[in-house]
Structure 1
Amino acid sequence: MKVLLFDIDGTLINSGGAGHRAMTKAFEAIFHVPDVLKNATLSGMTDKIIFKNACATGKITYNSNNLEMFRAVYLEYLREEMPRSHPDKAICPGVDVLLKKLVQYPDIHLGLLTGNFAEGARIKLDQFNLSGYFSFGAFGDDNHDRNLLYNYAVKRFEKKTGKRPQNDQVWIIGDTPRDIACARPHNALSLAVATGEYSREQLSREAPHFIMDNFSNVDEFLNIVLNN
């Protein structure tokens, strides 16, 4: 049994900056602070942490009421932004072919582990017709700490299938050092992919178990996952 937990942005898809634009618009619409994410780091961060940091930058109180208000307005803007054309908007190389291949294996289970709010994840993946590949996961709604999302994903998989995977049967797949770090405390396996903001060299410094330039070589991916 293999449980593959995929990140979204930079791993499965590139939204062409739709999430950044939607968050920026939402924050300005609610709190009247423009361009609050201008110098922010978003890669690998949970949406809760992004909002918390934006509150600190904009000198806005971070609390549950403001978070829920921001989430609702952000999702409205995200629905508007995702359909827009952008030169960088695309499925990451090889992803569509890879997912079609993976679902043919009954012992491979596909899930998500992403910092996106759950509804935001669906909106992004729906734009590329990818949502249907993933029946469970963990999301930025669950916890602000990405490392703690692992347990949410595993518990949801167990509830869905009645099976409890061993940690070395779980793969964390993503494009940032934070994805690699998420696997480490759980003794899960990490597969880094250099299709996001970080180069292969930068990701290698974080010592993932495996690393790929992209997912175009489906046979290489299958060899890594099936034989480890």
Structure 2
Amino acid sequence: MTSVSGAIGPRTSLTVDESGPHNRVLVLWDIDHTLVNSGGVSRDAYAAAFRAVAGRPLRRLADMTGRTDLHIARETFRIHGVEPTPEQTDALLARLVSELNDRVELMAERGAALPGAGEAIKALSQRSSVVQSVLTGNVKANALLKLETFGLSTECLALDVGAYGDDHWDRRALVSVARERARAVYGDGFSGRRTVLIGDTVVDVEAALENGASIVAVATGGTTSKELAGAGAHVVVRDLRDVAALEANVEDLSRS
């Protein structure tokens, strides 16, 4: 059953058994519209990258909602009548990294970390049972750039065990990628609901459910609380401001 913001209240203490690797919890954060708003600069970077690689203006960008950069790049070529080769896709993603770097000051001016994002990451980092990383559609270089640009606590995130938009085109497959990387570093564990995704789209919900993971859906993007709940999210919150409630949600979901 889905709980909507407030259904699981804040607690004053957390009591997770931290005695071994099987009790660890892997928390995987989405980035865009969950932790940050990049002010539309990613779309500008895609347009410039496509023009440089394809030699023509971008008419239309593929749907970005919850999609990986690898998926977006391939579908954007197809929209323009091109069946992309791996080399073309790699070239577009490499140029995307360059174009976003060129716009980092504009991104910092237009965008922002979303309310509560930094506080939530820091709060969860105080729990030795929790390993935090990201599961994002961004290629890794752009994911790191966005986190750093908006002052989020990258030292609290085990970024080498995350999963990124250049690891696989299908976001659902990224859950297994992140779990395997986490197990290689921290030992066995993170099975089932002890992996908790936090994201803002129906695709985030689907990725969690198809892998038996937990999902806290955040209605800070273009998807409503009702839509997220209807997709089967275990918990839906309006935003990340209530850090204590988020901690309680992570604990309760990982015990399910």
User: TM-score by structure 1 length?
Assistant: 0.94
Aligned-partner residue type, residue 95 of structure 1: A
| Structure number with larger C-alpha Rg | 2
How much does 1:86 deviate?
A: 6.9
Residue in 1 aligned with 2:171?
146
The alpha-carbon deviation at position 122 of structure 1 amounts to: 1.0
Q: Deviations over 1:117-142 (max 9, x none)?
A: 11111111111232333212011111
Letter paired with 1:181: E
- Cα pair 2:195 2:213 within 8 Å, conserved: yes
- The corresponding residue for 1:10 is 33
Identity %: 28
Residue 88 of structure 1: how far off its partner (Å): 5.1
Does structure 2 retain, via aligned residues, the 8 Å contact 1:192–1:211?
yes
Residue in 2 that maps onto 1:124: 146
Q: Which residue of 2 aligns with 1:54?
A: 76
Q: Which runs of 5+ in 1 are unaligned?
A: none
AA aligned opposite 2:121: L
User: Is the contact between residue 112 and residue 138 of structure 1 (CA under 8 Å) also seen in structure 2?
Assistant: yes
96, 102, 121: which is aligned to 1:74?
96
Residue 34 of structure 1 pairs with residue 64 of structure 2: no
Aligned length: 227
- Write the mapping of 1:1-228 to structure 2, written as runs, cut at 5 A: 1-38=24-61, 40-84=62-106, 89-130=111-152, 131-135=154-158, 136-228=161-253
* Matched-pair contact (CA < 8 Å) for 1:180–1:192: yes
Q: Find the counterpart in structure 1 of residue 13 from structure 2.
A: none
User: Is the 8 Å Cα contact of residues 31 and 60 (structure 1) preserved in structure 2?
Assistant: no
Provide structure 2 residue ranges, at least 5 long, that are not aligned to the other structure: 1-23
CA displacement, residues 140-189 of structure 1 (integer Å, 9 cap, x when unaligned): 11111111111100011011112322211011110000000001121111
What is the identity, as a one-letter code, of the residue corresponding to 1:210? V
After TM superposition, the runs of 4+ consecutive aligned structure 1 residues lying more than 4 A away are 85-88
**Counterparts of 1:82 and 1:193, CA distance in 2:** 25
The Cα offsets for residues 27-79 of structure 1, whole Å up to 9 and x where unpaired, read as 011212213335x3211001011111110112223111101111111111010
Question: Whole-Å Cα distance in 1 between the matches of residues 197 and 138 of structure 2?
Answer: 15
Q: Distance in 1 between matches of 2:134 and 2:64?
A: 18
Instruction: Report the residue type matching 2:45 in the other structure.
Output: A
Amino acid across the alignment from 2:63? T
User: Is the CA contact 1:36–1:54 (under 8 Å) kept in the aligned structure 2?
Assistant: no
TM-score, normalising length: structure 2: 0.84
| Most deviating of 188-197 and 125-134 | 125-134
